[in-house]
Amino acid sequence: MARSTESVEQNFDHNAPDFTETMRDRLADLRQKCPVMHSTAHDGFWVLSKHEDIVTALRDPGTYSSAKGIFIPRPVGQAVYGLPTESDEPDHSHYRRPLWKFLTPAAVRLYEPLVRRTVTELINEIIESGKADALEDLAKPLPAQITGQFFGYTAAEGRRIFELISTLTAESFGDKDQAREAATELLALFQRSLDEARKNPGDDVSSAIVTYDVDGRTFSDQECLGLLRSSIGGALATTVAAIGYAVYLLWKYPEQRRLLVEDPDLSSSAVEEILRMESPVYAVGRTVLQETEVDGLVIEPNERALLVYDSANYDPDAFDEPEEFRIDRPNNTHLAFGMGIHRCLGQHLARLEIRVVIEELVRRIPEYRVVGEPKFSAVAGVLTPVDLHIEFEPGERVPLPEA
């Protein structure tokens, strides 16, 4: 029997400017009263809010398609689909394959000395002053440098790519001209790197993309651009957000921060709990290909569904006392990286960067405080801090470790 939707909002809009202010209360209301509802916003879409229902959808890509886009609505200015994220089988496996060898756990472990040296250097730049912009001084430059180098760009180019992607994402629901300008510059930058890889292929990600052979053909320019945009964009925007939230949560819950100071071996577990509490990718969209029933409600072919990861991560049926931040939480089945065939390719690199940041932060600046009221934003399925300043007792610079 279908559940009633009369007691919950019918114009649920995850892109509304005030969404983050009441998001958790609204999602809790949905989980309890109407875990599957239909919103009238953005020409209509279904909202799934329970962990079990979302996991079922993620494990059924034959019903819940990504090929028509994972954003509701689709941002203006994004003519190129993000690959492999916005694709279905059999294309999806072909798109992932050239990237995978660079992102295996073993391959990513080789980056730890570089990540630790970079984090040490970034903390050296702020520690004598006793204050920092946690986003501009730490969360943004680390992924820009690491991801930039990972894909063959300089640190400055990596930072510029992040700025363009941030502009494109934010303005896709605002200034359409600015969004298109950012998209044009970003694609031109990617095209230059692809052209260079074709002329002088090496053992790098861009070269792997342009030389990969699929049944006798290489990827088109559009496919190559889609692979770079999704891979680099995802690695930058979401990791920046996760690092920002790591700083915020370890300040908000000082007893957990001190537990980490006392037992640094909890850092990996802490990363998982940070990702559960504040998943940067808080929702993704799918297009239903065939009639399906969820919680007694029928979703028709070509209707869209929003899978709200953030809601799943706070589902009391999946997590014991989900409102509590516990860095030693066992069996943390959060959905920050998705699940199934579309599980995030860059998850191991993201975990490495977040882990090293919190290890070095609590070791060198164990006591810090957030200044003022931190601000957060939710656009195009990504939840991120936008204003996060900290103060602490000044410390000393340290020698840089070998990379």
For the stretch 174-202, pLDDT in tens is: 567 787 888 889 889 999 989 999 999 98
Q: What is the pLDDT of residue 270?
A: 98
Q: Domain 19-392: which topology? A: Cytochrome p450 (1.10.630)
Which stretches within 283-389 are classed as H helix? Answer: 309-312, 347-364
Phi and psi dihedrals of 72, rounded to 5?
-125, 110
The whole-number average pLDDT for the span 362-377 is 94
Q: What is the pLDDT of residue 335?
A: 98
Residue 403 DSSP one-character state: -
For the stretch 239-268, pLDDT in tens is: 999 999 999 999 999 999 999 999 999 999
For the stretch 2-38, pLDDT in tens is: 444 444 668 899 988 888 889 999 999 999 999 999 9
303/108 Cα distance (integer angstroms):
38
The yes-or-no verdict on residue 208 having pLDDT over 70 is yes
Confidence of residue 173 (pLDDT cuts 50, 70, 90): very low
Asked if 196 contacts 210 with a C-beta cutoff of 8 angstroms, the reply is: no
For the stretch 315-337, pLDDT in tens is: 999 999 999 999 999 999 999 99
3/36 Cα distance (integer angstroms):
8
Q: Which amino acid is at 299?
A: I
Does this model's pTM top 0.85? Answer: yes
- On average, the pLDDT of the chain sits at 91
The residue whose two tokens read 């861009």 is 206
The whole-number average pLDDT for the span 270-298 is 97
For the stretch 227-239, pLDDT in tens is: 998 888 878 889 9
Question: Domain coordinates of the chain in residue numbers?
Answer: 19-392
- Residue 52, judged by CB atoms within 10 A of its CB (0-12, 13-18, 19+), counts as middle
Residue 45 DSSP one-character state: E
Q: What is the pLDDT of residue 3?
A: 44
